[in-house]
Amino acid sequence: MHKNFTALAFTDTVKKVQEEQGSRASYAKMEESGDKFVLTEREKSFIAERDSFYMATVGANGWPYVQYRGGPAGFLHVINDTTLGFADFRGNRQYISTGNIIDTKRASLILLDYPTQKRLKIWAEADVQSVRDNPPLANKLTHEEYDAQVERAVLLKIHAYDWNCPQHIVPRYTLEQIATEITQLNPAVIKSCCPDEESD
């Protein structure tokens, strides 16, 4: 059942720790807010701009596993208001996340925009699907310009999400972002900072 994320994240032990640390009262109010699992335009546009995310799964033995996923911007697709999907590109072929999803059907994602220090957390029911058995889905998730072999599709039925606070997120920038900022600088400023070397 789709819920407020607190119903999934705040176990009795978590609540006990919050009580001990003095934050239980404020989080109790958060628990009373409405359920959030339907994506709005804010989440959709944020997801469409990401070129990576971190995905946690749990194996049949109860141990968690976190994996970095990367690709072209928008490779994590919004299928509809409550479903995400991505093409699973061939990697080191350990298949830990794949096996965990098959066993437990659960995943949690963290999407980060480092320059603006924004973070979106998503709890989802996950499903692994063959791209051969579902060509329309494969076509939707595949990026022809990205040179990677697609082995399968992963669908994520959103159960909850939450925007996390920006505190402690260290801003980082891609080469493309830096290049864009440099080209927007005033040529006079660039010249004053980096004057041409005079020839002898």
Residue 186: DSSP 8-state = -
pLDDT score for 181: 83
pLDDT score of 179 more than 50: yes
Q: Name the least confident of 5-14, 28-37, 61-70, 183-192.
A: 183-192
Q: Which helix (H) or strand (E) holds 31?
A: helix 24-31
Superfamily of structural domain 36-193? Electron Transport, Fmn-binding Protein; Chain A (2.30.110.10)
The tokens of 168 are what?
């402690």
In 3D space, the residue among 167, 160, 188, 190 whose CA is nearest the CA of residue 43 turns out to be: 160
Q: To the nearest whole number, what is the mean pLDDT of the chain? A: 89
Residue extent(s) of CATH 2.30.110.10 domains in the chain: 36-193
Task: Tell which wins on pLDDT, 18 or 175.
Answer: 18
Q: Name the least confident of 91-100, 102-111, 117-126.
A: 91-100
Average pLDDT over residues 128-142: 84
H-assigned helices in 32-184 = 41-48, 96-104, 135-141, 175-183
